[in-house]
Chains A and B, each alone.
Chain A
């Protein structure tokens, strides 16, 4: 081995240096990541909404209204919570239901689309339930009128009493 530089030894050296620099960069970035602070444990930096979800596992209300359970097993919400000619998703226990207040009174349907489990929305202009996922449509009686849903939305018996909407979940 002589000590003179040739093209081969120059490239070997260059690649070794470049490789070491690359590896060093990765190790340094990763260590910096590992050693830097995390403020997520401080409650005041909690993401709005992230702590109030998962109504289905009973850990919070999410954006939906929670119906309270009466002693007779019926679910109750304030009549004012559902404006006239609108539909609102209400959490009855773990079940999301759609409460619609139309001209003929209050009707309550299972809000879960029979296609693939998304929650339907009430479209007051068309008087239809519309699923945002695959475009399924149901009429005001919950019957399928368009799109892929295989069967109708189940209706739950409901009544208006003492400024409350009372829903019976079988």
Chain B
């Protein structure tokens, strides 16, 4: 196409569609010509948790849309309508189980996803916005899970909602108002169910959709982080001293140094370098390579090799997902009774750790303060951990905190499960 094609371009909707089609084609071209890090260790495979979560989110939308057609969000009808979907409608049991299992699995994958980002320190520098969007997404998904948990209107869901909304009262000043707003009254009753249903099918999924779009867009811009401890190095023999690598680096990891041969050569700051490979692509003399403690980092095309790996990861996850959805229902069997609290009342698995923590800490206020402090540390990790080496071996304190945090979460979840 020549320059004057833009003058001849159609206006209005056809023009807009044409422009969009052009953008999609160019994006397709970029995808087809991109390369990415070839996974070498188990930790590198964790980079695919984002793709897998995206696939499961799409399935949640599909199963959720199907369930929403027949579910009736009223206290006297909710449990019965869900039983009708499960027992009478063709494939209803599978669709209902898929939706329930999907929510639990997505949160598991998100936790692993976050763990992987911490392992490779991909929350730093220009990737910080992605981390904040991810933290917001995690909160929204927890809230979506919490609101969806009430919808069966079973004993478990009813009392988990009573305890969950009541615990918000601990927040000074606004706590009581938030509890009232969520419940639509003083108690968990009909208005709570319709409010939670509305949140679950409109506001929360739409927010998740928008934020996911931003999150993925930013990931595309800054690229998937290389393995922990990898950094760029230049072969100074081949370097022509053009300085392109320093200008293009979004992590400010490259500085140009004068050297005896009167040639400016790049100096890479291993603590800032995130092994994104932008400088490798920009280098006209191909003198930059990625090194890691395990040797040079290898690459593979995004399509088809990397796409195939990701597709395989999705397929393996789906196998687990359908395995659980086929055999393990976990559906609550007793409809809600606001006048009888059951003996074993627990939240869904992803709230078990905070639930158990609140149970063992002496006072509600201290428990909530501890939880908030932990949450803030995680959310503001990009502020707390800005620079220094990325490899876990070079910073034992960070590694101990990350692994200690994970161990604590697993321990409290198991404790809550078996208590």
Q: Which residues of B contact A30 (CB under 8 A)?
A: 62, 66, 91
What's the Cα separation between A17 and B358 when bound, in Å? 53
Binary per-residue interface labels of chain B (74-95) against chain A in the complex, 1 for a CB within 8 Å, 0 otherwise: 0111011101110011111011
What's the Cα separation between A38 and B77 when bound, in Å? 13
Q: Does A84 contact B (CB under 8 A)?
A: no
Q: Does A71 contact B (CB under 8 A)?
A: no
Tell which of A36, A59, A64 touches B75, judged by Cβ atoms closer than 8 Å.
A59
Q: B189 contacts A54, CB within 8 Å?
A: yes
Q: Chain B nearest CB: distance from A26 CB in Å?
A: 7
* Chain B minimum-CB-distance residue to A119: B341
Number of interface residues of A (CB under 8 A): 46
* Chain B minimum-CB-distance residue to A118: B341
Q: Which residues of B contact A59 (CB under 8 A)?
A: 75-76, 190
What's the Cα separation between A133 and B346 when bound, in Å? 8
Q: B337 contacts A63, CB within 8 Å?
A: yes
Q: Does B364 contact A (CB under 8 A)?
A: yes
What's the Cα separation between A67 and B286 when bound, in Å? 85
Number of interface residues of B (CB under 8 A): 47
- In chain B, positions 166-180 with a C-beta closer than 8 Å to chain A are 166-167
- In chain A, positions 119-170 with a C-beta closer than 8 Å to chain B are 119-121, 131-135, 148, 150
Q: Which residues of A contact B76 (CB under 8 A)?
A: 50-51, 53-54, 59-60
Q: A32 contacts B90, CB within 8 Å?
A: yes
What's the Cα separation between A47 and B79 when bound, in Å? 8
Binary per-residue interface labels of chain A (73-95) against chain B in the complex, 1 for a CB within 8 Å, 0 otherwise: 00000000000000001010010
Apart from A39-B88, A53-B337, 20 more pairs, CB < 8 Å:
A29-B94, A34-B69, A40-B80, A40-B88, A49-B337, A50-B83, A53-B75, A54-B75, A54-B76, A54-B338, A57-B75, A63-B337, A63-B340, A96-B338, A116-B166, A117-B166, A118-B159, A118-B341, A132-B343, A134-B358
| Sampled A-B contacts (11; CB under 8 Å) | A38-B88, A38-B89, A39-B84, A50-B77, A54-B189, A59-B76, A62-B337, A64-B339, A89-B340, A119-B339, A132-B345
B interface vs A, CB < 8 Å?
A: 62, 66, 69-70, 75-77, 79-81, 83-85, 88-92, 94-95, 153, 159, 162-163, 166-167, 187-190, 334-345, 358-359, 362-364
